[in-house]
Structure 1
Amino acid sequence: MSIFSQRPALRWAVPGVAAVTFVGGGALVSTISANADAGLPPRTAAQLLVDVQQARLDGLSGTVVQRSDLGIPALPGTGGQGSADLASMVSGTHTLRVWYAGPDKARLALLGELGESDVILNGTDLWTWSSRDNTATHRTLSKDASAHKAPDATDIPKTPQQAADKALAALDPTTSVTTSGTATVAGRSAYELLLAPKDSRSLISQVRIAVDGVKHVPLRVQVFAKGAADPAFEVGFTAVDFSRPDAAQFAFNPPPGAKVTDATASTTEKMGMAQPNPDAATKATPANRPKVVGTGWTTVVVAKAPAGSTAKLDQGQLGALLKALPKVSGSWGSGRLLAGKLFSVVLTDDGRVAAGAVTPQVLYAALAAK
């Protein structure tokens, strides 16, 4: 099946000439071809985008290494490098094993120094497993829910495909798309697509996507901050096999002595993972509805923190971390600034949060906008 069958927003029309018109506008696509220095025939950026869109993937398995150097303080409770906690992937280097045999059969295992954590999707059965705690949680998904990606502890992409989907979804008139030659990833020859924001206010310099020269699926994604020679975020295969994994890889049986929780609707709600109410957006008032300022790579989201959340943030290790952040102020008010390599976040004293892949000055302007 097409890897984009569940992602209609990523479809675009590509004329076989110099320019490409994307959904909503005209992202600049260079006609310069990727060099054939890895034994691959030359391909233009437009041709590579069509290749990725039309790729068919029946199955794969492999080892993935993810590295994050976002330039932010260590977050309490995330475990850090070498941890098998999925939330730890916001920083450090982590190794994962992945298996895929269709949209309803997927498995991801985060390998830590003292154990591993697994997320296994098999039809409508979703299991999460921690070997360190010897605990497992089972959820039964609806047929519609099982067609979407499984929930996880963090929104950090865990595979090259997830990272590429996020990058390709951002294609619009604010993006320049070119090729940058070829590369070898996991022992396979690959083309490299280069996505770059046209707006200099973005903290992101470029996103490099290595596309397999035969299978046309992403093998590696690297995100570079402005002025940096090394990626601030990288996820890529170190070994990959495109044969379909055996069905046994997706059959999970809790080991003897494991504590198993069956997450019913009530327990799911208690964990904060309840399905969103489709009517919530219509009931939201202008005062509490998130405001979006800007477009493309310089989009800023300004939202009102949920009632009572500010007091909770002031407690414990997280509270100490927030209080250590530098104070900032302006015509928009005052607050604390979290400035990373790829994004900035301002938490205001009056309970607002502004975030984006932009400089702090862009956040201040968004907070001041009426």
Structure 2
Amino acid sequence: MSVLQSRPALRWLVPTGAALAIIGGGAAVGTFASAAEPNLPERSAAQLLVDLQTAHLDGLSGTVIKRADLGLPSLPGIGGRGSAELTSLVSGTHTLRVWHAGPDQTRVALLGTLGETDVIRNGKDVWIWDSQANKAQHTTLDESGPTGRPDHLPTTPQEAAEQALAAVDPSTEVRVGRSASVAGRDVYELVLEPRDATSLVGQITIAIDAVEHVPLRFQVVPQGTSKPAFEVAFTRVDFERPDPAQFAFNPPPGAVVTEGTRPEGRPALPTGVEQPTVVGSGWTSVLAAKVPQLAGTTNAETDGAEANLLRGLLGGLPEVNGEWGSGRLVTGKLFTALLTDDGKVFVGAVKPERLYEVAQSNR
């Protein structure tokens, strides 16, 4: 099982003769790890990228801690349990147990104070189990079906690393950081830094197991600080193949079981909302979408429950304007969102100026 089998494009990063600079137009590559404990053999960034691409494992299990402090603003007009649960997905600290024995045998358990929520794939069968509610949903995949897991923030360092490495291009500086210890294992640290100061990302660090070449920790550090705003890391890891029983789920007596359906294509969007498009590439790419429901909601004369809800959401956000028009701005440590008065949304891990530039080009 290739650890980064979905990232075959990494091969072009490391040409024969890895002493040459990698990343097509000249991203600088730090040559060797600096002296630090533990004392590991020297490895170049190019060698670590090859390690990630070629590592193979029979299986993996362990405990993962995920921390997120994205600086989400408090939005007026939003409250209740549902919103709290939504916010918890992108903030706070969460503990997960993970098991992996190949792409068709995976299990992730989100541990809570009163129970746990599990997502289990075993071949074509996918179960989502809520122990607190004693409810289970089952879905059967076809041969081309997805993993059955909804879009989410990464739950393991491997998933996070794959997403980050997809952004490696000439706009990225790649170097080796200090060696360290994660989950009791020696690791090398691979550092990715955007060259464009428009990005809100200061650097991404990937701690790579010195023996198994698997990412054990992933951190995203915003510009201007040394504290990660997002981190996912193993606190315990075992590279033995998990027992098949970990992937065999049988609902307990009394559980409410529903049969789910595999979504076909992209999920349906609200009436009038167009599929988002991506403007630009790499670190400074921006997601752009038209949301007609936003148009005119700041106008007090606009009636209706939907308009009142949106007005409550947007009313507490700072107003901004420019040649592109006017709207409201949402800012966090690793993202910025611009909601224009004419019903457009622009979101990216970039400074506001980049969103204004994209908004101007999309007038």
TM-score > 0.5 by shorter chain: yes
Task: Tell me if the contact between 1:116 and 1:130 (Cα under 8 Å) persists in the aligned partners.
Answer: yes
- Secondary structure of 2:137 counterpart: strand
What are the superposed Cα offsets for residues 337-361 of structure 1, whole Å, 9 maximum, x if unpaired?
A: 1101011011112211101111111
Task: Tell me if the contact between 2:63 and 2:97 (Cα under 8 Å) persists in the aligned partners.
Answer: yes
Task: Tell me if the contact between 1:26 and 1:172 (Cα under 8 Å) persists in the aligned partners.
Answer: no
Amino acid paired to 1:27: A
Task: Tell me if the contact between 1:191 and 1:213 (Cα under 8 Å) persists in the aligned partners.
Answer: yes
- Secondary structure of 2:179 counterpart: strand
Structure 2 counterparts to residues 1-370 of structure 1, below 5 A: 1-14=1-14, 15-22=16-23, 25-35=25-35, 37-73=37-73, 88-145=88-145, 148-152=146-150, 154-264=151-261, 273-276=263-266, 288=274, 290-305=276-291, 314=307, 320-370=312-362
User: Cα gap change, 1:346/1:13 in structure 2, threshold over 3 Å: closer, same or farther?
Assistant: closer
Deviation at 1:307, TM superposition (A): 6.7
Amino acid paired to 1:188: R
Task: Tell me if the contact between 1:195 and 1:207 (Cα under 8 Å) persists in the aligned partners.
Answer: yes
- Secondary structure of 1:170 counterpart: coil
Task: Tell me if the contact between 1:19 and 1:30 (Cα under 8 Å) persists in the aligned partners.
Answer: no
Amino acid paired to 1:57: L
Unpaired runs of 5+ in structure 2? 298-303
User: Cα gap change, 1:174/1:149 in structure 2, threshold over 3 Å: closer, same or farther?
Assistant: farther
Distance 2:104 2:256 in 1: 25
Deviation at 1:251, TM superposition (A): 0.6
User: Cα gap change, 1:150/1:74 in structure 2, threshold over 3 Å: closer, same or farther?
Assistant: farther
Distance 1:144 1:306 in 2: 34
User: Cα gap change, 1:185/1:130 in structure 2, threshold over 3 Å: closer, same or farther?
Assistant: same
Give the TM-score, by structure 2 length: 0.87
Distance 1:114 1:319 in 2: 36
What are the superposed Cα offsets for residues 306-347 of structure 1, whole Å, 9 maximum, x if unpaired?
A: 77998886565x763433222222221222211010110111
- Secondary structure of 2:177 counterpart: strand
Distance 1:36 1:101 in 2: 33
Distance 2:341 2:194 in 1: 32
Amino acid paired to 1:18: A
Amino acid paired to 1:140: T
What are the superposed Cα offsets for residues 32-77 of structure 1, whole Å, 9 maximum, x if unpaired?
A: 3354631321111111110011010211110000000001135757
Give the TM-score, by structure 1 length: 0.86
User: Cα gap change, 1:251/1:196 in structure 2, threshold over 3 Å: closer, same or farther?
Assistant: same
Amino acid paired to 1:352: K
Distance 1:241 1:63 in 2: 9
Deviation at 1:129, TM superposition (A): 1.0
Deviation at 1:209, TM superposition (A): 0.5
User: Cα gap change, 1:151/1:306 in structure 2, threshold over 3 Å: closer, same or farther?
Assistant: farther
Task: Tell me if the contact between 1:170 and 1:297 (Cα under 8 Å) persists in the aligned partners.
Answer: yes
Distance 2:305 2:322 in 1: 25
Amino acid paired to 2:278: V
Distance 1:108 1:211 in 2: 21
Unpaired runs of 5+ in structure 1? 281-286
Distance 2:113 2:275 in 1: 42
Deviation at 1:290, TM superposition (A): 4.0
User: Cα gap change, 1:64/1:274 in structure 2, threshold over 3 Å: closer, same or farther?
Assistant: same
